[in-house]
Structure formats: C-alpha cells, structure tokens
Amino acid sequence: MQQILKLTTKSVSNHAVDNPCYDFVIVGGGLAGLAAGLRAQELGLRSVVIEKGTEPNYLCNTRMSGGVIHAAYKQVMRSEKELCQAIDRATEGFSNPALAQAVAKDGRKLVRWLQGHGVQFLTASGYEYHKWTLAPPPQNRPGLQWPGRGGDVMMRKITARLLALGGEIHLGINAYGLNMQDGQCVGVKATSELKHTDLDYQAKAVLLADGGFQGNFDLMRQFISADPSSIKQRGAGTGTGDGLMMAQRVGAALIYPQAFYGHVLCLDAMHSDHLWPYPMIDTIASSGIVVNDEGNRFVDEGRGGVFIANAIARLKKPLGAFVIFDHLTWMGPATERLIPPNPNLARGGGRIFCQPTMEQLCSVAQLPETVKATVTAYNMGITSGEMPFNQPNRTTKPYSALPIVEGPFYAIPLCAGITYTMGGISIDSDARVLRDDGSVILGLFAAGATTGGLEGGPFAGYVGGLLKAGVMGIRAAQKVKSECLSLSI
C-alpha cells in the first residue's frame, strides 16, 4: 500500500512575518503553485507559496482531480507535433500556438520531474489518455473520493519536497493586491485570516496561480451564466478569481473568460453527493438530444459533454434541461466510460424517467408537448442527413447522432457541472502576464486555471488542467531564475 505523507501545522506554517522578502512569491497552492515553488527552490531561489486554505490538506481542484495528465485526451509521451495537432483540433484553432507548443513539448518533462520527486503513475484503463494517471487512481464508483487518491498523494509529496528544500507555505493568507514600482510587480498585499493582520510580501517576481473564478458568483454571472447558483460546483469551488482581478487592476489582458471545463450531470447532483463528480451524463447527452424547458434543442450535441455543459449554463433556466434518448443508447453509450451512468446513476439515486412510448414519457416526466415534435424532426434529420433549419446543427464527430426510435424511451433532468474556468489572464509561453498590446508586465507571472489562451474559446475546447498547471508553473520558475533576479525591489 502506498504510503500517504502526513503534514502538520508545524511543517506548513500558518504564520508570516509582517513584511517578508523573497525572490518569488506564489499565490495559490495547487499544482501550478507548488510546482513553481518546488522548481524555484531547486534553482536556488527563495520562494513562498501563500494559500488561503487554513488546513494542511486544504481543498483545491488538484487534490480532488481524477489525476490524469494528458493533452487533449492524448497521452503526453506522444510527439510534440502530434500533441500540438490534438490541441488544435480540440480547440478548433483557438489555442495560442506558443502555449500549445509549450505544453506539448514539456508534458513528458513534467511527468518525469514529478516521478523524480516520488510521484507514482499507472495506466488506469484502456483509454489512451489514461496512460499517465496519478497513483492510486480514483475508485471505480460514483461520488466524491479524493482523500488518499492520486491528486492528494501528489500534493503531499511535492509539498514535503518543497519544505525539505527550504521553501515556505503560508496558510490562511488572502492575497488582495499587487505592489507595483515603475511598471514592475514587486510584491503582494495580503491579509492573515488567523492573525487578522495585513501583510506585505516583497518579491522580485510574483506568480498568480490561485485557480479559476468558478467560486465567484459575480464573475460567473459576468462571463459564464446569468444564474450561477444553478451551476453545480463539480470541484473544490475554492477558485474565486482573486488573482485575475488583481492582474486586471494592474493592466493585464483577459482572454476568452466565457468557457469552463465541466461535464453534464444529473439534476439531482445539485443536492446529492452520490452523483458528482461522477457519473457524468456526457455519453448519453452526446448520443441523443438535449432540450431546454420549452422542449427544443439548443446545442450541437455532437461536440461532446464539455461543450453541452457550457450551453446548459448559458440557458435562461439552466435547471430546465433534459436529455432524451432510447433503449439502444441506454444499453450502448450509457454503459461506456469507467463510471458509466448505466447502472451508476440509478444506484446513486438519480432520476431516470422510462416509458414505453414518447407520449407516456412526456406525461410522466412533465415534458412540454413540443418534445415529441423535436424528436420527430431530429429523427428525420438523421434519416435525411440534414438537420431542419430551425434547429441547431448536429455534427457527427466526434460523437454520432443516434436515432430515438426503439422503446422504451428515457429522459433525465440535467444540470451543468463546473470544475474550473478555462479562460483568464493572458500569458506568453514563459507564463509572463501580458497587457492588451502584448507587452509584458515585468515581474508578474500566472499559471494554471487563472490563465487563458490554451483551453476554452468559442467551442470550450478542453486540453487538460493538470498538464497546463504543472508545465506553466515550472516554466514560470525557470523564467524567474533566468531573467528576474537582476531586478531590484
């Protein structure tokens, strides 16, 4: 059995002196922040990670993740060219080529670097992108299960290594502002939750790595959904956009903050911990039709679950969506993936309406009468090869459109589950923060889910959260070592 490292408040400090001075101050203690801090210590820099969580095993998306390091669902040991092509396909040409090349080139280096610090991997399944999964993997069952699993174990290991090399982690610290001097970032303003005091961290460089803004309803309402309370937090929910707002105030550009990584979930996940983060309803939603509260299709289901989840979040009534499908889909795509909705959705208590006819299904599930016409039009579109002009186009790659013809017929009420926002601060391939005109804000870096330009875009293209966090965190530390130590504070 793999040993789990136990950290105490003696090894991770809850205290900081009033005006500490460092080479590198890192805001946020997920993979991006810890990787940056550890790499900085390896390079001889004096670094500190400031984290608003107050417990040694503070919640964050890295700790709760499935632990798969991949690039757009391709395993990271593929060639740089292949991975760049995969990222370009996933984002439909939206990703910044320099960022895509950076993660495609350094993905394998990240895996080897983590292995060098005692992090273990295994092949979790026959799916190619599961080739490099953090050990031990999540158990093959629904519900939340992160303690002692891969992401949690990795966090403990790299935290221990960071501390062993002289790095620091300060818990209970809320960063709220950046110190600027002659256009250069020279520190962070923060408050200590435990000491109720203000702190002024002085630094030669600052990294913002505090995650996305999925936990900030104001930013969510501005960029993601008119009703953020109707979106299920599928991760830690601790990313509140503090780094993004701090960067904006000093002139940083944002790049496409309107997309998020998440999945389609059963509506009952809103109040049941047995139904999130798994099972996902993606395979069903990508095979049948997804309708709004008026019974009409509103999304191209063939683009997959992440795209569908984004479209559900944008509805006026995000909790009014249903997926409609038939028995062939229930016995086919619904049984796929490691934790499939069939049979896990029913086991977890999720509602599944099933009736021998479409008329009975609409009656029992209280669906609008328009659903029958929508299903008929959809089936005709499959037969003719053309979707009716008054419905959204339905692509058939990567997911085929399956007809809804063989009873019994099914309906599942849906919600959008958000894990992290995919857009944010604009950076270059060395994680340096950029202004609108493309110029660099000296001394300011950003990495992980607080950044944009790699994932997201108009089609919500997913590339991989752990990959971009780890690679860009390390790149930031290396750039600080090579360029920023000559700067004065």
In this structure, are 428 and 481 located in the same domain? Answer: yes
Residue range 203-252, pLDDT digits in tens: 999 999 999 999 999 999 999 999 999 999 999 999 999 999 999 999 99
Query: What pLDDT sits at residue 142?
Result: 87
Could you give the CA distance from residue 64 to residue 262 in angstroms, rounded to a whole number?
A: 14
Helices assigned H by DSSP within 43-96:
61-64, 80-91
| CATH code of the domain covering residue 277 | 3.90.700.10
Question: What is the pLDDT, as a whole number, of residue 107?
Answer: 98
Average pLDDT over the chain, rounded to an integer: 93
The answer on 460 and 341 residing in a single domain is: no
Question: Are 144 and 108 in a shared domain?
Answer: yes
In a domain, 44, yes or no: yes
User: Which domain CATH number covers 244?
Assistant: 3.50.50.60
How many structural domains is the chain composed of? 2
Q: What is the DSSP string of 92-143?
A: TT-S-HHHHHHHHHHHHHHHHHHHHTT--EE--SSSGGGSSEESSPPPSSSS
Structural domain span for residue 293: 263-418
Q: Which two tokens stand for residue 409?
A: 């017929």
For every one of its 489 residues, what pLDDT tens digit does the chain have, with 9 covering 90 and above? 223 333 433 345 544 556 679 999 999 999 999 999 999 999 999 999 999 999 999 999 999 999 999 999 999 999 999 999 999 999 999 999 999 999 999 999 999 999 999 999 999 999 999 999 999 998 878 888 899 999 999 999 999 999 999 999 999 999 999 999 999 999 999 999 888 899 999 999 999 999 999 999 999 999 999 999 999 999 999 999 999 999 999 999 999 999 999 999 999 999 999 999 999 999 999 999 999 999 999 999 999 999 999 999 999 999 999 999 999 999 999 999 889 999 999 999 999 999 999 999 999 999 999 999 999 999 999 988 776 656 799 988 889 999 999 999 999 999 999 999 999 999 999 999 999 999 999 999 999 999 999 999 999 999 999 999 999 999 999 999 998 766 555
pLDDT digits over 391-436, tens only? 799 988 889 999 999 999 999 999 999 999 999 999 999 999 999 9
Q: Is 54 helix (H, G, I), strand (E, B) or coil?
A: coil
Question: Do 214 and 349 have their domain in common?
Answer: no
Residues 400 and 473 in one domain: no
Structure-token pair, residue 318: 């995000």
412 in the same domain as 426 = no
- CB contact at 8 A, 461 and 221: no
Backbone angles phi, psi at 368, to 5 degrees: -60, 150
Q: Indicate whether 197 belongs to any domain.
A: yes
Place of tokens 């790659």: 397
Q: Tell me: do 445 and 369 sit in the same domain.
A: no
Residues 67 and 114 in one domain: yes
Q: Does 95 reside within a domain?
A: yes
- Nearest residue to 241 (alpha-carbon basis) of 55, 466, 420: 420
The answer to whether position 6 is within a domain reads no
Considering the domain boundaries, does residue 227 fall inside one? yes
Q: Is residue 5 part of a domain?
A: no
User: Coil, strand or helix: which one is 488?
Assistant: coil
For residue 368 the two structure tokens come to 């609008």
Strand partners, 426: 452
3-state secondary structure of 160: helix
Question: Are residue 226 and residue 369 in the same domain, yes or no?
Answer: no
Answer yes or no: are the C-beta atoms of 417 and 234 closer than 8 Å: yes
Is residue 241, in this structure, part of any structural domain at all? yes
**Which of 375, 402, 418 lies at the terminal end of a domain, its last residue?**
418
Asked if residue 234 and residue 267 are part of one domain, the reply reads no
Q: Which of 79, 62, 105 is nearest to 471 (CA)?
A: 105
Tell me: do 46 and 132 sit in the same domain: yes
Query: The pTM is what?
Result: 0.94
Domain boundary pick from 418, 438, 457: 418
Contacts of 251 (CB under 8 A, 6+ apart): 435, 436, 441
Residues 6+ away with beta carbon under 8 Å from 147: 57
Is 414:264 a contact under the CB 8 Å cutoff?
yes
Same-domain status, 175 and 291: no
Do the domain assignments include residue 13?
no
Chosen domain end from 418, 437, 460? 418
